[in-house]
Amino acid sequence: MTEIMDIVTARDPGQPEFHQAVSEVAESIKPVLDKNPEYRQAKVLERIVEPERIIQFRVPWVDDKGEVQVNRAFRIEMNSALGPYKGGLRFHPSVNISILKFLAFEQTFKNALTTLPMGGGKGGSDFDPKGKSDNEVMRFCQSFMAELYRHIGPNTDVPAGDIGVGAREIGYLFGFYKKLRNEFTGVLTGKGLNWGGSLIRPEATGYGVVYYAAEMLATRNETLEGKTCLVSGSGNVAQYTTEKLLEFGAKIVTLSDSNGYIYDPEGVSQEKLEFVKMLKNVRRGRIKEYAEKYSGAEYVALESGQDHNPLWDYQAHCAFPSATENEINALDAQNLVKNGVKVVAEGANMPTTPDGIDVFLNNGVLFGPSKAANAGGVSVSGLEMTQNSMRLGWNRDEVDNRLQMIMKNIHKTCLDAAEEYGTPQNYMNGANIAGFVKVVDAMLDQGVV
Ligand code: GLU
């Protein structure tokens, strides 16, 4: 294991997020390698950490002032053992190769857990959609697709959304792909409902996280009813996590964005949530306005350089980090445990640092790691691909029932794998082991490619 980290760090120094993701998986799967020497012999670990292909390209575009802007973009085609590369696109100034490689690596195991035929990929750009006009976003998306279109396709690589890429961006990207290829295919997921999208896709990640949390609680004969919950973020995942939590009778007291968070002791109601959806998805405003509109809530601005995030320092039973990677460090995790948190379900990808995870696991917290807990989003993407292939659309119940079944299944798979390898209730080990075994077995069947 140290060996694989030596290889990865020597080959790609300066990719801390990628190293973090690899190290977590390598640690979990040690007993699997010990039990199955053929894996070591076939160098599966060495192969799986190396992306099958990385595409990097320039995205030039003209802003509303007529000035030329240049962004950098990537698509990491990580692993195609189980199906076409599948994973989102992230538009955010922090995007770099390390972040996308960590996301693509995670995505590979996550997609394996869904049981649907999808390989792993991820892409994006350091473009910041914040503060840009619709026309600027469209011009950027068109320039981005002017290069990406030659590398993707419904049987090759099927991107979707992630941070900074929602319905608007998917629309512009799809429109330009169609124009360039003269083909109407399911090359992207997260499409609009009336042009090939699936019902429940926008809700899927958040709903899935809550289904997963409910499954974890059920192992202790508990439900979400009446539980106080901390949610971070206020984008797609946070919104639909909040919506499903409300439906299950829980109370949500926090939401956030990159500038700060709101604490609402009365709880976010469905009506307040509708305001958040309008604020974020239509007006593209900031969460601060929540506290301006609802006087019972307070807004706390986040200062940079703080050693902990005060959002994680309130009394609660459950936490749903739904903002971004490494948003819970060891100190935050200690605060959560001290304040009574018994369930953590990760909506964002890798939101807890490794020593934060240790704090949860050492304190008996039911910890649902992102590659299992947030797999609902890509699962419904998989169902969107199926519907596109059939040229049919399922109704809401059909998709939601399938999503619930998939999340239940993932939960059980993680639980069983954790048990089998001697770490009962450790969902992180379970997810890493089950995802890894599925991918590497397919790789071995397919030879050295
Ligand atoms: N970006 C999402 C994820 O992290 C969804 C990917 C997809 O639907 O392809 O899983």
CA of 375 from ligand 1 middle (Å) equals 8
Q: What's the whole-number mean pLDDT along residues 394-407? A: 98
Q: 106 CB under 6 A from ligand 1?
A: no
Instruction: Give every CB contact of residue 140 below 8 A, 6+ residues apart in sequence.
Output: 59, 61, 69, 71, 125, 127, 129, 132
CA of 383 from ligand 1 middle (Å) equals 13
Three-state secondary structure readout of 240-282: HHHHHHHHCCCEEEEEECCCEEEECCCCCCHHHHHHHHHHHHH
Strand partners, 153: 157
Tell me: do 80 and 147 sit in the same domain: yes
* Domain contains 142: yes
Judge residue 51's burial from the number of C-beta atoms within 10 Å of its C-beta, 0-12 exposed, 13-18 middle, 19 or more buried: buried
Tell me: do 303 and 258 sit in the same domain: yes
Q: 347 CB under 6 A from ligand 1?
A: no
* Domain contains 412: no
Spatial separation of the C-alpha atoms in residues 159 and 183, rounded to whole Å = 16
Q: Which atom of ligand 1 is nearest to 106's Cα?
A: 4
Tell me: do 217 and 152 sit in the same domain: no
* Domain contains 219: yes
Spatial separation of the C-alpha atoms in residues 235 and 202, rounded to whole Å = 11
Given a contact cutoff of 8 angstroms between Cβ atoms, the answer to whether 109 and 25 are in contact is yes
Tell me: do 214 and 354 sit in the same domain: yes
Tell me: do 110 and 27 sit in the same domain: yes
* Domain contains 372: no
CA of 122 from ligand 1 middle (Å) equals 8
Q: What's the whole-number mean pLDDT along residues 153-174? A: 98
Given a contact cutoff of 8 angstroms between Cβ atoms, the answer to whether 381 and 200 are in contact is no
Spatial separation of the C-alpha atoms in residues 427 and 409, rounded to whole Å = 13
Tell me: do 319 and 176 sit in the same domain: no
CA of 374 from ligand 1 middle (Å) equals 9
pLDDT in tens, 242-256: 999 999 999 999 999
Domain range for 340 is: 204-364
Residue 305 pLDDT level (bands cut at 50, 70, 90): confident
Catalytic residue IDs: 122
Spatial separation of the C-alpha atoms in residues 276 and 246, rounded to whole Å = 14
Q: Which atom of ligand 1 is nearest to 89's Cα?
A: 1
Q: Give phi and psi for 123, each to the nearest 5.
A: -155, -175
Pocket test for ligand 1, best of 162, 384, 403 (most atoms within 8 A of CB): 162
Q: Give pLDDT, residue 382.
A: 98
Tell me: do 167 and 289 sit in the same domain: no
Among residues 253, 285, 283, 286, the alpha carbon closest in space to that of 269 is found at 253
* Domain contains 408: no
Q: Which atom of ligand 1 is nearest to 87's Cα?
A: 9
Q: Which atom of ligand 1 is nearest to 118's Cα?
A: 9
Residues 242-258 as b/e (b if ≥16 CB within 10 A, e otherwise) read bbbbbebebbbbbbbbe
Q: 378 CB under 6 A from ligand 1?
A: yes
* Domain contains 400: no
Tell me: do 178 and 231 sit in the same domain: no
Tell me: do 179 and 209 sit in the same domain: no
Residues in the chain: 449
* Domain contains 25: yes
Tell me: do 267 and 320 sit in the same domain: yes
Q: 189 CB under 6 A from ligand 1?
A: yes
Q: 160 CB under 6 A from ligand 1?
A: yes
Write the DSSP symbol of residue 162: B
CA-CA distances (angstroms) from residue 9 to 94, 99, 236, 277, 289? 21, 15, 34, 41, 43
Tell me: do 160 and 295 sit in the same domain: no
Q: Give pLDDT, residue 1.
A: 54
Q: Which atom of ligand 1 is nearest to 162's Cα?
A: 1
Tell me: do 161 and 293 sit in the same domain: no
Given a contact cutoff of 8 angstroms between Cβ atoms, the answer to whether 263 and 314 are in contact is yes
Q: 88 CB under 6 A from ligand 1?
A: yes
Rg for the chain (alpha carbons), in Å? 21
CATH number, domain at 342? 3.40.50.720
Number of domains in the chain: 2
Task: Look at ligand 1, atom 8, and give the residue with the nearest C-alpha.
Answer: 378
Tokens of 159: 């991107």
Domain end, chosen from 327, 345, 364, is at: 364
Residue 304 pLDDT level (bands cut at 50, 70, 90): confident
Q: What's the whole-number mean pLDDT along residues 32-56? A: 97
Q: 100 CB under 6 A from ligand 1?
A: no
Q: What's the whole-number mean pLDDT along residues 182-209? A: 98
Q: Give pLDDT, residue 322.
A: 98
CATH number, domain at 155? 3.40.50.10860
Q: 381 CB under 6 A from ligand 1?
A: yes
pLDDT in tens, 348-397: 999 999 999 999 999 999 999 999 999 999 999 999 999 999 999 999 99
pLDDT in tens, 268-292: 999 999 999 999 999 999 999 999 9
pLDDT in tens, 113-163: 999 999 999 999 999 999 999 999 999 999 999 999 999 999 999 999 999
Spatial separation of the C-alpha atoms in residues 205 and 255, rounded to whole Å = 17
Cα torsion for 333, 334, 336, 340, to the nearest 10°? 140
Domain end, chosen from 342, 364, 386, is at: 364
Residue 194 pLDDT level (bands cut at 50, 70, 90): very high
Q: Give phi and psi for 79, each to the nearest 5.
A: -155, 130
CA-CA distances (angstroms) from residue 250 to 227, 289, 290? 5, 23, 20
Instruction: Give every CB contact of residue 256 below 8 A, 6+ residues apart in sequence.
Output: 232, 233, 234, 238, 262, 287, 302, 311, 323
* Domain contains 397: no
Among residues 219, 421, 233, 253, the alpha carbon closest in space to that of 339 is found at 253
Tokens of 434: 């089950």
For all residues of the chain together, what is the average pLDDT? 98
